[in-house]
Each structure stands twice: as C-alpha cells, then as structure tokens.
C-alpha cells in the first residue's frame, strides 16, 4: 500500500514538473503584440518645429559604461537561444545652450556593490563587464563634473541609477509618478539606499500633447528636449526626445523594450523576464504599441532602447558628438 502511494506521488510530481517545464518553454514561443488590441486612439500632433534650423544648437553623445551578457531569448519574444545578447549600460550626455544634462547613468564606480541589488534570478542568468564609468570618462576628457547640471532618470532601477552617486550634488530628476513610487520601495533597493545622498526632484508632464503622447514636458520650451510618459516597466518610466539642429531626431525609450526588435515587430519580453522587471505588463504592451505606431509614422526617428548596444553603436560615442 505504501509503495503504491509513493509511486502515485512520484508520478504526480513528475507530471507537474513536465507540465511546468512545458509551460515555461511555451512562454518563449515567438509572438507579436496585437497592435489593434492596444491602440490608444491618441491622434498624432503636428510637429511644433517644422524648421530644424530654428532649434538651438544641441550636442548629443552616448557614453558606454558597462554591459551585461545573456541569451537573446530572454530579451524579446522570438530572440535566439543560441545568440548571445550584449546589453549596453550607457548614459546620454546632452549639451544644451542653457544646461548640460545626462539621461540615465549606466554603471557607476561602485557597480560591484550595486549589482547585488539586481533580482537574484537575473544575477544567475547574466554576467556583467565593467567599463569606465561616465563620471570618470567626463573628467578624464577635461570636463568638470560641476558642469553637469541635471541627471534625468528614465526610471529608478539599479542599473540606471548606479552612476548617479558619482555626481555628488547634481540635480536628479524623475517624473512625479516615479517619485511617488520610489517612496513606497523597500529599503533594500538601490534608489532607496542612495536617496539621502541624491539631490532628487520630480517634474510633471505639464505640457500638451506631443506626437501621439497625450502629455509632455518641454524642458527648455524650445522643442529641442521633450520628455513623455512611457509607463508600465515602472509607473513613472519616461522617454526622451532630442531634436537636433541638423534635423536628426532621437527618442530614448529607457527599458520599455530591451532591444529595437521589441518596437519594430512589436514584441514584448518573454514571461520570465516580464515577471522579473515589469510592474504592469498590460501598460507595457500599450506603451510598446504606441512607440511602434510612432515609428511607422516617423520612420526617420532614431529610437534607442536603453540596453540595445547595436543601437548605441549607431550613435556618436563620447567624445564624438551628434549635432
């Protein structure tokens, strides 16, 4: 009798294990988002700047300061299990006539300690390489850190805020929704640990509609640098448009997708990755479709996911600049 019970129990456990493995495997099956299901209905706004030469002279460069390695299959649905994916950790340096800004910070000087704040499963599935942090690169080029007026964070996750402490006293900006969310985070999160040392402030999307976004924040009221809400990955995730004098337009989308394929196809992260990092999966899908529709409408717009090193390599890397 006991032997029969043990046999049945082991059989049940085996069935559960096989089914679980099958379901996890199925969650990696390639699939595209249903664009029609997630259309927002927001109309496209006419561009406020029709003559780029009327824009102020803004310089833009991308500072690489680290990378993480994983399988492409964990990055977007349809990614290859055989292909390694290099996730760039970067900071965008923008020089406007009125201020010098950073968008995100990449890995900082203390990244070895900061990496402990990554989700445990992510630490098990990835490895990271340190590169020279943004602050040191800027200083070695001869630019005093005091010239960096503001750091804008796309969101609060450790790999975007890691380098912020290397710029003591510099204003750190997040959206109001992100600041409210940060207040609820446990003490173990890196942003919570650093908060007392960061000059943290928030902004509202107090401007009108921009492109197909219903709200915006034009930092200098001249159309050159415009922030828009991209909620889902975190409640207050933010995207950044940079419009240059030359006519080039960039849209930095943070971690809305980890790879450009996520916007182009469009496709979300696989189930395991979504559960690790996304706060609101449905909202992520809506935001992805919004950016997908934007790309279809503005094919010359250069969309840059925060961790797509292939996209980073197409932009002038520090100390070279886009203008």
In terms of DSSP bridges, do strands 217-218 and 127-129 run parallel, antiparallel, or are they unpaired? unpaired
Quote the CA–CA distance of 317 and 112 in Å, as a whole number. 24
Q: Tell me the percentage of the chain whose pLDDT exceeds 70.
A: 91
DSSP tag of 119: -
pLDDT along the chain (323 residues), means of 10: 54 42 54 91 84 95 96 96 95 98 97 91 88 98 97 98 98 98 96 96 97 97 97 98 97 98 98 96 98 97 97 97 97
Quote the CA–CA distance of 195 and 242 in Å, as a whole number. 28
pLDDT of residue 111: 97
What confidence tens digit (pLDDT) does each residue in 202-224 have? 999 999 999 999 999 999 999 99
pLDDT of residue 94: 98
Domains of the chain (ranges plus CATH)?
55-312 (3.60.15.10)
DSSP tag of 253: -
Could you give phi then psi for residue 170, rounded to 5 degrees?
Answer: -70, 135
Strand partners, 304: 252
Number of C-beta neighbours around residue 24 at 10 A? 12
Q: What is the mean pLDDT of the chain?
A: 92
């Amino acid at each position: 009798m006991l032997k029969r019970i043990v046999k049945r129990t082991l059989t049940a456990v085996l069935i559960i294990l096989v089914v679980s493995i099958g379901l996890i495997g199925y969650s990696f099956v390639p699939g595209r988002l249903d664009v029609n299901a997630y259309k927002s209905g927001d109309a496209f706004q006419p561009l406020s700047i029709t003559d780029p030469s009327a824009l102020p002279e803004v310089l833009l460069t991308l500072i690489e300061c680290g990378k993480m390695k994983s399988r492409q299959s964990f990055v977007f649905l349809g990614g290859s299990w055989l292909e390694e994916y290099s996730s760039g950790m970067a900071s965008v340096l923008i020089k406007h006539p009125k201020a010098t800004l950073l968008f995100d910070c990449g890995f900082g000087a203390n990244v070895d300690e900061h990496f402990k704040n990554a989700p445990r499963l992510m630490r098990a599935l990835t490895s990271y390489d340190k590169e020279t942090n943004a602050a040191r690169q800027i200083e070695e080029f001869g630019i005093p850190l005091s010239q960096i007026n503001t750091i804008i964070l796309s969101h609060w996750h450790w790999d975007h805020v890691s380098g912020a402490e290397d710029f003591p006293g510099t204003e750190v900006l997040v959206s109001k929704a992100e600041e409210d969310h940060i207040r609820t985070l446990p003490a173990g999160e890196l942003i919570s640990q650093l908060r007392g040392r960061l000059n943290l402030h928030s902004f509202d999307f107090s401007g009108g509609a921009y492109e197909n976004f219903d709200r915006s924040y034009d930092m200098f009221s001249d159309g050159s640098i415009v922030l828009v809400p991209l909620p889902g990955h975190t409640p207050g995730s933010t995207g950044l448009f940079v419009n240059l004098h030359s006519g080039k337009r960039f849209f930095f989308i943070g971690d809305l997708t980890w790879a450009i394929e996520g916007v182009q196809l469009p496709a979300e992260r696989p189930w395991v990755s979504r559960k690790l990092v996304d706060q609101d999966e449905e909202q992520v899908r809506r935001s992805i479709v919004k950016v997908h529709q934007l790309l279809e409408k503005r094919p010359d717009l250069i969309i840059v996911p925060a961790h797509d090193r292939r996209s980073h390599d197409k932009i002038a890397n520090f100390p070279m600049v886009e203008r």
